[in-house]
Structure 1
Amino acid sequence: MTDLHFLPGCRIEEITRPDANSLHICAEARRRSGRCPDCGEPSDAVHSRTVRHPADLPCLGREVRLELWLRRLYCRNPACSRRTFVERLPGLIAPRAQRTDRLATAHGRVGVFLGGEAGARMLTQIGMPTSGDTVLRLVRRLPLPRRPAPQVLGVDDWARRKGRTYGTILVDLERHRVVDVLPDRSAATLADWLRGHRGIRTIARDRSTEYARGIGLGAPQAVQVADRWHLLLNLRQMVERWLAGVHGRLRRLPPTVGQPAGPARRTGAFPRSQGERVASADSRERKKALYEEVRRRHAASEPLLTISQRMRLARGTVRKYAQAESFPERAVQAPAHSILDPYLAHLEARLAAGCENARALWRELRDIGFPGTSMQVRRWLGQRRSAPAKTTPRRYREAQPAPVPPDAHAGAPALPSPRQLALYLTRPRDGLTNEERSAIGRLERDPDAAAVAVLVRRFADLVRGSCIGGNAVVRAPIATFKRWLIDAQNSSVSAVATFAAGLQQDAAAVKAALTTPWSSGQTEGQVNKLKLLKRQTFGRAKFDLLRRRVLLAA
């Protein structure tokens, strides 16, 4: 049993089992002498004996409680104020501690990954019971790891309270570990940290001008690298904002023809009820009134931020309304894939044969494997009947058919929303479906949209094709970027020219992104890990505890 439960500096005298889930180990210290904790004078003169009852790591799945008999020794140094002292057991237990050092370390490590209350619940199940407050106290006692100074750093922000307060996370991109966590995302805080950590030669960041200024102040010798994913994100956001402003004009474009037909599927949603149509119309009128008020204020040269504050609207909504050529109608979403789609050919054939009995059609579909109910067939058939069903109440026989969406064109699918169109334009063309290519072809019938699409695809292909390995210098992406920058700045679309002007201001970081392998990808992964630890504390942990947990878990 001594080998199963080793106690350094002690001899086990007796082991008992007070109950089925615990062990009681009686041990005696076996050191020849001890040293006075005040003066360090060795002594072996015994004054008396004392006993301590600390908890220890579990053994054989059972909770362990020690009974340690220690000697109280005389201090033989006449100049020392202490007359007696209890011998110490370094490496096993600290003075006046209620648990051994190894048990305290285990409690702290569990608290790092699970937090206080969750860690206490798990520790109770594995024979190391304690309270949540004790777990957090032991987490704060764990020493922070010492790591070599980073040379390639990743910088990103994280939300302490989303929309209110933010912090900064710093990651060593070469060793894939968190270096530090800062309490805010200001340039001054980042610059102060960088001044205390010399030797950093490369820093990957997002497009934040605050981080760019902080790096310039704290580490002017470091090469700043703009993150490629954020470049594509900013590109998509620019396209989405511009499309939102001209979407009303683009919806009137005719659809493309000659596209290969895809699998049979529903092209329109089921008709809405009268109450839903009334609620939708009321919502549209309210939004249109807000749109007209924003346009009036913007025409009077009122700043967008002031409009947002006075009208209590989100800044993005105010910007969208101010930049829109006409009222931005809600985009009609194409219906999602339905379990009825594989059976549409059979239904169309039976309808052409004159069968308008929904129940009979449903029984036929059920026999060939349709898993749905008759209600789905009835709703599909209700839009295609040549005459009302015999069971239709009289008050519904004269009801008007559901209105056709205003952006539908000869039964063609509606133009996708600005967000979807922006996604289609920034994706690789090889990964688009026939429907997505058809939507892009319809979009490119507008001259401005066609010019924007060409510039967007050129920049997206440039960013995606610039990811290289090693430290080789690639000159082709730089020349291509310069040509694209000139074309974008000369564009007739102001949104593209403004985006290009922003890239020109951050040109050094963008060029570094196109010619170096570094990015903020793994920094984003560390932010996700930090969010997990933050949510385990329900967002109520103090910053010092959260920072310690992040650094210890790295």
Structure 2
Amino acid sequence: MTDLHLLPGCRIREITRPDASNIRIAAEARRRSGRCPDCGEPSHAVHSRTVRRPADLPCLGGQVRIELAVRRLYCRNPACSRHTFVERLPGLVAPRAQRTDRLATAQGRVGVAMGGNAGARMLQQIGMPTSADTVLRLVRRLPLPRRPAPRVLGVDDWARRKGQTYGTILVDLERHRVVDLLPDRSASTLADWLRRHRGIRAVARDRSTEYARGIRLGAPRAVQVADRWHLLLNLRQMAERWLAAVHGRLRRLPPILGRPDGATRRTGAFPRSPGELAVSTESRARWKALYDEVRRRIAAGEPLLTISRRMGLARGTVRKFADAESFPERAVRSPGPSILDAHIDYLEARLAAGCENAMALWRELRQRGFRGTAKQVHRWLGPRRTERSKHTPHGGGGAPSPAPSPEHNKAPVLPSPKQLAWYLTRPRERLTEEEGAAVARLEQDAEAASVAGLVRRLADLLRACSVSTTTRCGAPITTLERWLTDARKSGVAAVTTFAAGLQQDGAAVKAALTIPWSSGQTEGQVGKLKMLKRQTFGRSSFDLLRRRVLLAA
């Protein structure tokens, strides 16, 4: 039994179990002498004896309490201010501590993994009870691990309070471990850290100019590598901004019909009620007035930031209005799959046979396995009636509802700028027939076809270099230079601005095409950091959060 309770520097006299949930260990220190903690002078003179009762790790399903008999010794050094002292037991229990060192370490490790409140609840269940404040205090006492100096570093920002304050996370990409957290994302803070840690050969980062400047100042010899995923993201954002500006023109292009299969599907939304239409019309009028006011101020030479502040609009909204060729109408979404789609052919046949009773049609569909509500059938049938229903307000003898336009039912709406940007950056072979039809409709416009070609070329280059070596990727630098030349000659402002940004960050972009390092591991560590932060409901101090992240790495 004593082998289960090793107490360094002590002799176990007795082990008892007062009840099923507690174990008592009586022990005494067996050191011949002790040293004064102030002057270090050894002493054998016993002043008195005392008993300490620290808690220890649980054993056999019970909480363990040690009754430890220790001596109080005289300090015989006349120059020392301490007259007596209690002998120390390093490696077992700290002076005046209520728990052994190994129990404190175990409770601190639970706090690292779970936080204060959750850790305290867990410790209560496994026989190591303590308070949430004590758990956090023990976390702060744990020594930080010593790690070898990183050679390849990943840099990214993380939100301490989203939209307000941000920090920086540094990751060793070779060992997949967090190296440090910085309290902000400024170039000076990053440069100071890099100056204190020599030997860094490469740094993978996003497109942040602040990080680029910090790396240039702190580690001028390190190779900066722009993350390929962020390059692809910036490409999609550029395409989305341009599409938002010309979406009004592109919506007038004739559709190219395409469906993934032969099944009949709804191509238009259900008709909206008069109240919904009134709210939508009023909302559009308000935004149209704001658009006109922004355009008027821009024509008067007012800066975008000034317009944003004076009108109380977001800078992105002002920029979108400034770039738009016409008022950006709200994008109409094409309806997604519906449980009614499998029964459209049957409903069309019954409607052609003269049945315009929605409840009767719904009951028939129920017998065919339809699990939806009668309201769905009512909304489908409403615009297709040839005679007004007697249950319609102001009905009975009125004019029948106009039949739906065949073109409206068959012609798909042009997807939103965000959706179109996704289609352009995805590989062609991964597009559905409907998505391919939307891209083909877009490419009927000469300028759109030019932009779409440039977007696809760069997206294909980035994807090829992210999964292959330079040999398999071909000549990425030459291909990139050719793309930049074509982009500058395109005459599209959004494309030329994006190309100028790539040219300015040229060394890091070229490194992204030839060096395998990226920020993928860094993004994963940011996700882990968010989990630790949310365990404390975002209320932990920076010091505590940093310690938890480094100890959990």
Matches within 5 A, 1:106-505: 106-257=106-257, 261-395=261-395, 398=398, 411-468=410-467, 476-505=475-504
Q: Which residue of 1 aligns with 2:63?
A: 63
**Structure 2 CA distance for partners of 1:401 and 1:148, relative to 1, 3 Å:** farther
Q: Displacement, 1:512? A: 0.4
Q: Displacement, 1:369? A: 1.6
Question: Aligned partners of 1:38, 1:264: CA distance in 2, in Å?
Answer: 89
Contact 2:388 2:398 in 1 (8 A): no
Contact 1:18 1:24 in 2 (8 A): yes
Q: Which amino acid aligns with 2:385?
A: R
Q: Displacement, 1:516? A: 0.9
**Structure 2 CA distance for partners of 1:41 and 1:508, relative to 1, 3 Å:** same
User: What stretches of structure 1 move > 6 A for 4+ residues in a row?
Assistant: 402-405, 470-475
Contact 1:469 1:516 in 2 (8 A): no
Question: Aligned partners of 1:438, 1:168: CA distance in 2, in Å?
Answer: 43
Question: Aligned partners of 2:381, 2:448: CA distance in 1, in Å?
Answer: 39
Q: Does 1:37 align with 2:34?
A: no
Give a deviation string over 1:328-350, Cα, whole Å, max 9, x none.
Answer: 00011111211111121222222
Contact 2:155 2:204 in 1 (8 A): yes
Q: Which amino acid aligns with 1:264?
A: T
Q: Displacement, 1:398? A: 4.3
Q: Does 1:48 align with 2:45?
A: no
Q: Displacement, 1:91? A: 0.7
Give a deviation string over 1:533-552, Cα, whole Å, max 9, x none.
Answer: 11222222211111111111
Residues 240-249 or 115-124, more deviating: 115-124
Question: Aligned partners of 1:533, 1:222: CA distance in 2, in Å?
Answer: 31
Question: Aligned partners of 2:165, 2:399: CA distance in 1, in Å?
Answer: 55
Question: Aligned partners of 1:257, 1:140: CA distance in 2, in Å?
Answer: 64
Give a deviation string over 1:213-233, Cα, whole Å, max 9, x none.
Answer: 111111110111000011011
**Structure 2 CA distance for partners of 1:20 and 1:257, relative to 1, 3 Å:** closer
Give a deviation string over 1:315-371, Cα, whole Å, max 9, x none.
Answer: 111110111011100011111211111121222222222222222322222222212
Residues 335-344 or 289-298, more deviating: 335-344
Contact 1:34 1:73 in 2 (8 A): yes
Contact 2:71 2:86 in 1 (8 A): yes
Give a deviation string over 1:209-255, Cα, whole Å, max 9, x none.
Answer: 11111111111101110000110111111111111111111111101
Q: Which amino acid aligns with 1:542?
A: S
**Structure 2 CA distance for partners of 1:396 and 1:175, relative to 1, 3 Å:** farther
Q: Which residue of 2 aligns with 1:506?
A: 505
Question: Aligned partners of 1:410, 1:110: CA distance in 2, in Å?
Answer: 60
Residues 65-74 or 311-320, more deviating: 65-74
Q: Which amino acid aligns with 1:422?
A: A
Contact 2:383 2:404 in 1 (8 A): no
Question: Aligned partners of 1:332, 1:467: CA distance in 2, in Å?
Answer: 35
Question: Aligned partners of 1:157, 1:481: CA distance in 2, in Å?
Answer: 28
**Structure 2 CA distance for partners of 1:464 and 1:400, relative to 1, 3 Å:** farther
Question: Aligned partners of 1:125, 1:467: CA distance in 2, in Å?
Answer: 47
Q: Which residue of 2 aligns with 1:543?
A: 542
Q: Secondary structure at the match of 2:285?
A: helix
Q: Secondary structure at the match of 2:313?
A: coil
Residues 72-81 or 53-62, more deviating: 72-81
Question: Aligned partners of 1:351, 1:452: CA distance in 2, in Å?
Answer: 45
Contact 1:107 1:135 in 2 (8 A): yes
**Structure 2 CA distance for partners of 1:398 and 1:188, relative to 1, 3 Å:** farther
RMSD: 2.2
Q: Does 1:528 align with 2:530?
A: no
Give a deviation string over 1:66-119, Cα, whole Å, max 9, x none.
Answer: 211111223344544433321111111001111110111111111112111221
**Structure 2 CA distance for partners of 1:212 and 1:262, relative to 1, 3 Å:** farther
Q: Which residue of 2 aligns with 1:22?
A: 22
Question: Aligned partners of 1:50, 1:154: CA distance in 2, in Å?
Answer: 54
Q: Displacement, 1:388? A: 2.2
**Structure 2 CA distance for partners of 1:393 and 1:306, relative to 1, 3 Å:** closer
**Structure 2 CA distance for partners of 1:395 and 1:471, relative to 1, 3 Å:** closer
Q: Secondary structure at the match of 1:348?
A: helix
Question: Aligned partners of 1:402, 1:196: CA distance in 2, in Å?
Answer: 76
Question: Aligned partners of 1:73, 1:111: CA distance in 2, in Å?
Answer: 37
Question: Aligned partners of 2:464, 2:528: CA distance in 1, in Å?
Answer: 29
Give a deviation string over 1:365-402, Cα, whole Å, max 9, x none.
Answer: 22222122222222212222221234445448748859
Give a deviation string over 1:454-501, Cα, whole Å, max 9, x none.
Answer: 000000001101125678797601111110110001112111111111
Question: Aligned partners of 1:23, 1:411: CA distance in 2, in Å?
Answer: 79
Question: Aligned partners of 1:399, 1:222: CA distance in 2, in Å?
Answer: 77
Question: Aligned partners of 1:389, 1:149: CA distance in 2, in Å?
Answer: 79
Contact 1:471 1:517 in 2 (8 A): no
Q: Which residue of 2 aligns with 1:519?
A: 518
Q: Displacement, 1:201? A: 0.7
Aligned length in residues: 552
Residues 259-268 or 204-213, more deviating: 259-268
Contact 1:473 1:515 in 2 (8 A): no
Contact 2:12 2:25 in 1 (8 A): yes
Q: Which amino acid aligns with 2:61?
A: G
Contact 1:50 1:69 in 2 (8 A): yes
Q: Secondary structure at the match of 1:545?
A: helix
Q: Does 1:7 align with 2:7?
A: yes
Q: Which amino acid aligns with 1:94?
A: A
Q: Displacement, 1:29? A: 1.6
Task: Structure 1: state its 5+ residue gaps.
Answer: none
Give a deviation string over 1:430-462, Cα, whole Å, max 9, x none.
Answer: 111111001001111111101000000000001
Question: Aligned partners of 2:201, 2:234: CA distance in 1, in Å?
Answer: 26
Give me the TM-score of the superposition, normalised by structure 2.
Answer: 0.95
Q: Secondary structure at the match of 1:552?
A: helix
Contact 2:387 2:399 in 1 (8 A): no
Task: Structure 2: state its 5+ residue gaps.
Answer: none
Question: Aligned partners of 2:200, 2:401: CA distance in 1, in Å?
Answer: 69
Contact 1:262 1:434 in 2 (8 A): no
